[in-house]
Chain A
Amino acid sequence: MNAPNLFQYCLHLADNVLILSQRNSEWCGHGPVLEQDIAITNISLDLLGQARNMYQYAAALYNKLSEEEKSAVEFLVPRPWKIFGRELTEDDLAFLRDERQYLNLLLVELPKGDWALTILRQFFFSAFQIIFYQQLQQREDAQLSAIAEKSLKEVAYHLRWSSEWVVRMGDGTDESNRRIRNALDELWSFTGEMFLPSTYELQVADEGFGVNVALLKETWLQKVSEVFAEARLKVPQQDETSGKSWVQSGGKEGSHTEYLGYILTDMQYLQRTFPDSVW
């Protein structure tokens, strides 16, 4: 097993859920009605928990690497941490890495938009997470498998909630339908990145520790199509030859939209201002 790759893989998985959690939490106190404000912030909390489990594991992996292995992932390690003179922790990974060291999907960093955009993004991501975790649970790594098993139950609930909202908005009023179609136009080209494996994902998958995301696309599309049919929405056609299936990517390798920098500025403010401060 290539431990540096696994470390990078865990960071990618953790970054996805941390950034989406941070985005969704922007609704706290601003939800359309109280119950839904609570719902989206609860989902944020679940995602944050999943992120913590992944970062804790990533930190534990890193601390056990040999010097040579450590130098292979040097580019992912938070610079301010190096002067602390102690082992790497989950908080260092979340609060002290720079934009280019974040490996999340572009989809999760996009601004929260209106309620339709937040709902539809959550639906796309939960539909992905459920099939992803089902696979990860079967893989070789005991800790990743345990995290997947734990997260699956939560994700099932998120998927149910967001599916219901997609139907409610798609098959609702003219206004709700217009909004969710706008959200679809906005988000669709960012969904393809979920199924475009990076080098490290492929390597970890080959070793039996990770999931080859390219193989999940059909199942995901099927899930999306079912809910869209109920919601009277059309799944955009993926015509590879006409150039219409334009896919935005780069996040998994650290090339982000300008939006990520702003989230990190907000989220990392305290640890950047008072490095290594403790709650």
Chain B
Amino acid sequence: MVVATENMTSSSVEEQKIWQILQEVKDPEIPVLSIVDLGIVRSVHYLPSNSGEPGVSKRDGRGEVTITPTYSGCPAMDVIRMDIRLKLLEHGYKNITVQQSLSPAWTTDWITEEGKRKLKEFGIAPPNPKQQFCTSEMFKEEAVQCPFCNSYHTKQVSRFGSTACKAVYHCDNCKENFDYFKCH
């Protein structure tokens, strides 16, 4: 019993450390956002090795990171998978596998408040809270705030943008075009 408890504790300590390290893994398309901010890391499980023997580190154990794609065809997923393994390797975690899960499906509501703030600073309008906009109804417009001047006098230029997750908008107030991280 005692042994098991110790293992569990040291397991969750390592998992906390891994979550911290994953903050350093950025989305290759939106480098201000970490994959944790973006809400695509779904779980971290870690089983430390039996330490106590000389030369054996806790980080010699095995870990599994589960991620979920933003969009089915997001080409950044393969890069992210590799970046996770490399970043954890830098910190001494050698045996990490990265799994993908599809359900529950990712939603922009999983982007952290911190993530939304960073997006805005970067010049991308953060997603509105998920409302009724993921419907198939035609010509439905949502109010999107300009990330530069905060005006709501904006209009959609294109339903699709430079990546699957963005749309292009124009601000009638400051005349800038900007990306909107569309609600999904």
Contact = CB atoms under 8 A, between A and B. Distances in A.
Interface in B63-78: 69, 71-75
Interface in A143-172: 143, 145-147, 149-157, 159-161, 163-164, 167
Contact of A46 (B71, B105, B134): B71
Secondary structure class of chain A's binding surface, majority of residues: helix
Interface stretch (B17-25, B31-39, B89-97, B155-163): B155-163
Contacts of A227: 138
Nearest to A43: B160
A161 B102 contact: no
Contact of B138 (A50, A154, A163): A163
Nearest to A159: B136
A155 B164 CA distance: 13
- Indicate the member of A48, A126, A145, A156 with the most B CB atoms within 10 Å: A156
A53 to B, nearest CB: 6
Task: For chain A, give the interface size range.
Answer: 35 or more
B131 interface: no
Given A145-B103, A146-B101, A46 B73 contact: yes
A49 B158 contact: no
A35 B167 CA distance: 10
A45 interface: yes
A150 B105 contact: yes
Interface residues of B, number: 28
B125 interface: no
A151 B72 contact: yes
Contacts of A47: 73
Contacts of B73: 45-50, 52
A73 interface: no
A42 interface: yes
7 contacts: A38-B160, A45-B71, A45-B164, A157-B159, A160-B140, A227-B138, A230-B138
Given A38-B160, A49-B72, A145-B103, 16 more contacts: A35-B157, A35-B168, A36-B158, A39-B158, A42-B160, A45-B71, A143-B102, A146-B103, A147-B72, A149-B102, A149-B103, A150-B105, A153-B184, A156-B134, A161-B159, A227-B138
A53 B72 contact: yes
Contacts of A50: 72-73
A154 B157 contact: no
Secondary structure class of chain B's binding surface, majority of residues: loop
A130 interface: yes
Given A42-B160, A146-B102, A149-B104, A154 B71 contact: yes
B75 A150 contact: no
A135 to B, nearest CB: 15
B53 interface: no
A52 B101 CA distance: 14
Interface of B: 69, 71-75, 101-106, 134-140, 157-162, 164, 168, 184
B69 to A, nearest CB: 7
B135 A156 contact: yes
Contacts of B134: 153, 156-157
B104 to A, nearest CB: 7
Contacts of A147: 72, 102
A151 to B, nearest CB: 6
Contacts of A38: 158, 160-162
Contacts of B158: 35-36, 38-39
Nearest to A279: B78
Interface in A1-51: 35-36, 38-39, 42-43, 45-50
A142 to B, nearest CB: 8
A159 B118 CA distance: 31
A157 B134 CA distance: 7
A171 B138 CA distance: 14
B138 A49 contact: no
Contacts of B162: 38
